[in-house]
Amino acid sequence: MGKGIVYMLIAAFAFAWMNLLAKYLTDFHPLQVVFFRALGTFVFIFPYMMYKKIPVIGAHVFWLSCRGLLSFVSLALFFIVIQRIPLGSAVALRYTAPIFSVILAYFFLKEKVKAWQWFSLLLSIVGAFVMKGVDFRIDALSFILIIGSSLLVGGVFTIVRYLGSREHFLTIINYFMVFSIIGSLFFIKYWRMPMGQEWIWVCSIGILGLIGQVFLTRAFQLAETNTVAPIKYMELAYALVLGFFLFDESYDFWAIAGMTLVVVGMLLNVWVKRKG
């Protein structure tokens, strides 16, 4: 179990740096950043799938395609918002995704939701609106886009839960990468060629995404979900620290209070589910 927690810390750290690079590459169109993030993972996992004879198409093409499309659009919206508002705010607001996951699972998978879970979700919603209300750097469009991204992530969680063990996890991830690569190419007229050290950064974003994905998956394999899932929220701590030192981002008391409500609400939801 200890190794699972360590792996989740590494995953959160990798994702935090990936997000930071997405913000740093503001001279690139967000969909070009999505392309490099997806390609950097695809070139590693696809050959591995071929070598291990892991199904590329899968048995549930419709739901795998839905997962791939929702993930692509969600990531695109997230990278757009990252370039518009502070990094910590974007990460914190995207943590509202479990709200939509619980609601969608309630209606479509008929999963039971306890009263305390509804309270925890309400707490996170309040936190999100506190952040929007007190931090004028979060404009209305960015707020709508990031909540839309969270809604789509909630849909992804629900689909993955439905697929369960019916599909290999790499098959599911590969659909995400393929849809992101193809979808990003529709915006190629807005791209520009990386120059010099920029090649290091655009390649690193894909590698960091891969590292985060691998260690995230291994963490869930080695420890109970309710044990390692809360550790994922360390990504916000990393984002706040990196944003402060590299982008001079700071937050007042009420902005931090809003973030805290979002995270506490999500952690309470995990705790209630763990209690069964």
* 127-162 residue pLDDT tens: 999 999 999 999 999 999 999 999 999 898 889 888
* 181-207 residue pLDDT tens: 999 999 999 999 999 999 999 999 999
Section 254-272 average pLDDT: 89
**Is residue 223's pLDDT more than 70?**
no
Section 73-92 average pLDDT: 96
* Per-residue tokens: 152: 């789509």
44 CB neighbour count, 10 Å cutoff: 16
pLDDT, residue 227, reads 64
Is the Cα dihedral 253, 258, 263, 267 positive or negative?
A: positive
Share of the chain above pLDDT 90, in %: 64
Which residue, 142, 11, 157, is CA-closest to 97? 157
**Is residue 229's pLDDT more than 70?**
no
Section 166-179 average pLDDT: 92
Section 247-266 average pLDDT: 93
pLDDT, residue 213, reads 84
* Per-residue tokens: 110: 């008929």
Give 16's contacts (C-beta < 8 A, 6+ positions apart). Answer: 91, 235, 238, 239, 242
CA distance 119 to 117: 5
**Is residue 273's pLDDT more than 90?**
no
- CA angle 87–89–95, rounded 5-degree value: 105
Please report which residue ranges of 194-233 form alpha helices under DSSP H: 198-222, 225-228
Query: b/e per residue, 52-73, with b = 16+ CB within 10 A?
Result: eebeeebebeebbebbbbbbbb
Q: Please indicate, yes or no, whether the overall pTM of this predicted structure exceeds 0.75.
A: yes
Higher pLDDT, 85 or 169: 85
Section 22-38 average pLDDT: 95
Query: b/e per residue, 6-39, with b = 16+ CB within 10 A?
Result: bbbbbbbbbbbbbbbbbbbbeebbbbbbbbbbbb
Which residue, 209, 276, 226, is CA-closest to 43? 209
Higher pLDDT, 221 or 64: 64
